[in-house]
Amino acid sequence: MNIVILDGYTENPGDLSWEGFEKLGNLTVYDRTPGEKIIERIGKAEAVIVNKTPIDKKVFDACPTIKYVGVLATGYNVVDINAAKEKGIVVCNIPTYGTDAVGQFAIALLLEICHHTAHHSDAVHAGRWENNKDWCFWDYPLIELAGKTMGIIGFGRIGQTTGRIAKALGMEVIAYDEYQSDAGREIAKYVSLDKLFADSDVISLHCPLFPSTEGMINKENIAKMKDGVILINNSRGPLINEADLAEALNSGKVYAAGLDVVSTEPIKGNNPLLKAKNCIITPHISWAPKESRKRLMDIAVDNLAAFIEGKPINVVNK
């Protein structure tokens, strides 16, 4: 089997091995593939592995040898799954690999807002402590989380992981999810979305991007929140109306935001959040610890191996 990986760099910048795929066929790996090179690089490959490179009907029409598309991610919107289904092409994703990593990162964003450790470390290295009149100093309010309420929107695996860590920090945890579970009830109290907005000191987003959730953090819903609420999002950027959030940050209605995702990635220079007050933005790296990427790699290899054996798993276009 001829296998081509079109954009492998973010999954494996050199600290992992492609050996698992190499055992399954003739492998060609590209770090990145521009749009005009997609069809040429697929060539006569039967298995195409992508992360964010788009595979649409035009590509399927031009590359009739494709039998399998593997997505190196949970989200698979980069692939036209309907066109793939029409042609009998199997599309598989990685349904879970970074639960612990993403939950940990959500809390890391929150703790950075509470303590601004990087800022204060930079200040010390710049000589400000050495030359300070007092034995300590701080440039931002320092926030203790124990006793405060975290509201989690989307209480699946990642939301629950985040909730468990928040409870370990002494926080009360409430959650909103259309599908409630006993596992969720062991961690949090389920509430309505409006009650979550009203009662939370911290709101953390862990829900999928659907038409019903797109832009759910908007001017109307922000008005329902506590003054000085903290917002965390390392789920999907379009969950937030960025102009509305920027306005709320600048007015102080939202005290701070910690974001690992934005509506368009890489971020555009005119994104209003870049100039908003108290807004920490990281470049979509929640998923990226080596341990997490190794699990992703192993599952991706297992997906292709199962397809070759005629027993495909994690299929998203059945």
Q: Which residues are catalytic?
A: 236, 265, 284
Torsions phi, psi of 219, nearest 5? -55, -40
Helix, strand, or coil here: 300?
helix
CB atoms within 10 A of CB 260: 23
State the Cα–Cα distance between residues 256 and 6, nearest whole angstrom.
37
Point out which residues pair with 257 in neighbouring strands.
231, 279
> Dmax over Cα atoms in the chain, in whole Å?
73
Do residues 297 and 290 touch, judged by C-beta distance below 8 A? no
**Residue that has been written with the tokens 């909103």 in this structure:** 176
Token pair of 187, please? Answer: 């961690």
Supply 74's token pair.
């949970």
DSSP structure class, residue 238: G
Torsion angles phi and psi, residue 301, rounded to 5: -65, -45
Give every CB contact of residue 55 below 8 A, 6+ residues apart in sequence: 38, 48, 69, 78, 79, 80, 84
Residues 6+ apart with CB under 8 A from 4: 27, 28, 29, 30, 41, 42, 43, 45, 47, 48, 49
**Coil vs helix vs strand at 271:** coil
Which candidate, 316, 301, 302, places its Cα nearest to that of 85? 316
Q: Count CB-CB contacts under 10 A for residue 117.
A: 11
CB atoms within 10 A of CB 156: 18
C-alpha gyration radius of the chain: 22
